[in-house]
Structure 1
Amino acid sequence: MSVSREISGHLPYLRRFARALVGTREGGDAFVMATLEAIVGDPQKLQENEDLRISLYKCFLRVWGSAPVNLRSAPAGGLEDDGARRNLDGISLRPRVAFLLHALEGFDLEQVADTLDVSERDAAALIDAANAEIADQIATEVLIIEDEPLIAHDLRSIVEELGHSVVGMARTHREAVAAIETVQPGLILADIQLADGSSGLDAVNEILGALSTPVIFVTAYPERFLTGAPPEPAFLVTKPFSVESLKAIISQALFFNRRSHKREA
């Protein structure tokens, strides 16, 4: 199999990682495109003696790290204002990268260490630091749009375990739209295929016409929605999801949401 074909199998997940790291679909995809252009220009950037996935993520992180985003600016589609940047500053960049590699992308400790060129002990310390900072994150109200009762229950349990409150549960497009008439959630978790056969993407797009809030989509088929062609979600978690992967995505979505607000007592 050619390297280009092997890389193509990793691209949907690199896009997911990039979008979570940058905070937007457009910004994340811009960095992925820049990474691919760098590899085309110099194939040696992919180390032949390394695992291809690790080498690809290393190359991406070099491209991302060389951009002015670390100096509080971003490419087109990146951070929008000082409020969003202050949210980003709430957690150190390196621990956040380590945490996303581990929790979202499923890298084990050795792979995280290899990707970041640190020892396994340092990688573990970075992940622990991210967990500690995430634990201090401001709580918010969450609307869950999910038609499978067991999954909805699991989502609710994880959300509440993270200190957030669930203010609505919807199973259909109509219920989801009706829910925001009485609540204004600071975060939405939405399945893509709903009980009435409608699209969670369509329901959320209608909701976002009246409300500005971050959205995390939940799907068993992430590769279908990470092709680089719109419309696509910026934040996406894969079924079956782990506590850590959902935690990673929720924390990132709230980092970049200038409207996330503290839950009232």
Structure 2
Amino acid sequence: MSADEPVAADIAIADARLRRIPSLARQALLLTAVEGFSEEDAGRIIGRDAATVHGLIDEAMAEIDRQTRARILIIEDEPIIAMDIEMIVRDLGHEVVAVATTHSEAVAEAQTHKPGLVLADIQLADNSSGIEAVQEILADVKVPVIFITAFPERLLTGDRPEPAFLLTKPYQPATLRAAIAQVLFFDESTVPA
């Protein structure tokens, strides 16, 4: 696989998602989000007022949210952190299928629910490894993973499971939201047919 292949795949996924957005809403979104035009300037370009452009952007974002809605497995042994992550996930419109606190529980929940995204800690309640749990899950289900950990060095060995992303604790809720959105936007398994 060449270095350009993952980029080409990401472009194809983004293109497929964007094609599902009505043309005028897509134009408004791309003019403001990608090209950096204000809503007023975008309105002049597409022949609409700023309020209409704002509505079109909302329509485009709602369609992207609909396309990327996922069933999420949280693997986290700290109850307060698990509740915070669960609240963020639900606020984004996703479904939390389970919260697992141990390796064996995580694997069993993944086999039962076939999640679209896994959010995992590295050190689990029974001193088991979230990394090993994720490796076992990935052997059974192709799913993107975001590790959320206070021990990022444990993932920086070159042997981490793929596909995986990393956020360090303490995380910022906005960073977690952005990571979830980005991972799901570029995940080919959630692209509608």
TM-score range, shorter chain: 0.5 to 0.7
Alignment of 1:16-165 (within 5 A): 75=4, 77-80=6-9, 84-86=13-15, 95=33, 133=61, 136-138=64-66, 139-165=69-95
Residue 181 (structure 1) shift: 2.8
What is the rounded CA distance, in whole Å, between the counterparts of 2:95 and 2:118 in structure 1? Answer: 12
Aligned to 2:114: 184
Judged with a 3 Å threshold, the aligned counterparts in structure 2 of structure 1 residues 221 and 79 are, in CA distance, closer, same or farther, namely farther
What is the rounded CA distance, in whole Å, between the counterparts of 1:253 and 1:95 in structure 2? Answer: 18
Matched, 1:230 2:159: yes
Matched, 1:211 2:129: no
Aligned counterpart for 1:246 among listed residues 156, 176, 184: 176
Greater relative contact order (Cα 8 A, min sep 6): structure 1 or 2? 1
Matched, 1:260 2:190: yes
Residue 136 (structure 1) shift: 3.9
TM-score by length of 1: 0.50
Unaligned runs of 5+ in 2: 20-28, 37-56
Q: State the secondary structure of the residue aligned to 1:180.
A: helix
Aligned counterpart for 1:174 among listed residues 83, 104, 107: 104
RMSD across aligned C-alpha pairs, in angstroms?
3.5
How many residues get paired? 158
Aligned to 2:22: none
What amino acid is aligned across from residue 230 of structure 1 in structure 2?
Answer: D
Residue 82 (structure 1) shift: 7.0
Contact conserved, 2:17 with 2:64, CA < 8 A, in 1? Answer: no
What amino acid is aligned across from residue 237 of structure 1 in structure 2?
Answer: L
Residue 141 (structure 1) shift: 0.7
Contact conserved, 2:111 with 2:137, CA < 8 A, in 1? Answer: no
Contact conserved, 1:188 with 1:214, CA < 8 A, in 2? Answer: yes
What amino acid is aligned across from residue 182 of structure 1 in structure 2?
Answer: T
Worse-superposed segment, 170-179 or 239-248: 239-248
Residue 243 (structure 1) shift: 1.4
What is the rounded CA distance, in whole Å, between the counterparts of 1:81 and 1:242 in structure 2? Answer: 26
Aligned counterpart for 2:123 among listed residues 176, 183, 193: 193
TM-score by length of 2: 0.67
What is the rounded CA distance, in whole Å, between the counterparts of 1:134 and 1:218 in structure 2? Answer: 27
Percent identity of the aligned residues? 46
What amino acid is aligned across from residue 137 of structure 1 in structure 2?
Answer: D
Residue 195 (structure 1) shift: 1.0
Residue 242 (structure 1) shift: 1.6
Judged with a 3 Å threshold, the aligned counterparts in structure 2 of structure 1 residues 200 and 78 are, in CA distance, closer, same or farther, namely farther
Q: State the secondary structure of the residue aligned to 1:241.
A: coil
Contact conserved, 2:16 with 2:191, CA < 8 A, in 1? Answer: no
**Large movers: runs of 4+ above 2 Å:** 74-92, 132-136, 221-227, 229-234
